[in-house]
Amino acid sequence: MLEALTGSGLAASAGLNAYIPLLLMGLLSRYTHWINLPSGWQWLGNGWVIAILAALLAVEVVADKVPVVDHVNDLVQTVVRPTAGGLAFGAGSESKTVTVSDPGQFFGSKQWVPIAAGVLIALAVHGVKATARPVINATTAGIGAPVASTAEDVTSVLMSLVAIVLPVLVLVFGVALVAFVAWLFRRRRDRRRQRTAARTAGFRV
């Protein structure tokens, strides 16, 4: 159960930022005893892998804070974040699969399940993020983009650490995410009503 929560938390974190959970797992595995990656996932602690993830994270952090550019970045990340979520879930839940040398054995043994779960979780969180960002940009004239992006990055870091150290708290994040989605849909509905009311008032004039 705890392993599943760890994987879920890391996958959700990847939905916000693809590189933070993978980089944290690599760093913590390499320099601490907080996480012991299975043999199939120890490549995350390789120095070159850590350096590449750090460079990609730097690019992501900058791109995600610029209005319009952040939208393009979200489109690109539609593939990257779910993929990272699958890797994060697989490693976090101690799945022993990272390279598929025998596809028949891979699918027959259900080793693909945690990776698929991670992809779906990260894709769902990414979808919420990508939907919320245009609303935030529109309501703040773009000023909210760097603030929202920074909050997402911090949340991704905290969620990754919580998933590794106190995975039970991942449930709290799940509740918070559901509440945010509900707020987002209410906000979008209110904006539609306001636009409709404005058009109606314009016609009357």
- Whether the CB-CB separation of 65 and 150 falls below 8 Å is answered with yes
Predicted confidence at residue 27, as pLDDT, reads: 92
Global pTM value: 0.72
CA dist., res. 186 & res. 200, Å (int): 21
- Whether the CB-CB separation of 163 and 13 falls below 8 Å is answered with yes
Question: Greater confidence, 88 or 49?
Answer: 49
Lowest model confidence (mean pLDDT) among 37-41, 103-107, 113-117, 136-140: 103-107
Q: Cα-Cα-Cα-Cα dihedral of 120, 127, 6, 63, to 10°?
A: 120
Q: Give 39-48 pLDDT, tens digit per residue.
A: 777 888 899 9
Q: Give 107-116 pLDDT, tens digit per residue.
A: 555 566 767 7
Question: Greater confidence, 157 or 139?
Answer: 157
For the chain, give the secondary structure using H, E and C: CHHHHHHHHHHHHHHHCCHHHHHHHHHHHHHCCCCCCCHHHHHHHCHHHHHHHHHHHHHHHHHCCCCCHHHHHHHHHHHHHHHHHHHHHHHHCCCCCCCCCCHHHHHHCCCHHHHHHHHHHHHHHHHHHHHHHHHHHHHHCCCHHHHHHHHHHHHHHHHHHHHHHCHHHHHHHHHHHHHHHHHHHHHHHHHHHHHHHHHHHHHHC
Predicted confidence at residue 203, as pLDDT, reads: 55
| Cα Rg of the chain, angstroms | 19
Residue 100: both structure tokens together: 């598929």
Q: Express as a percent the part of the chain with pLDDT over 70.
A: 79
Residue 175 above 60 pLDDT?
yes
Q: Which of 82-86, 169-173, 197-201 is modeled with the greatest confidence?
A: 82-86
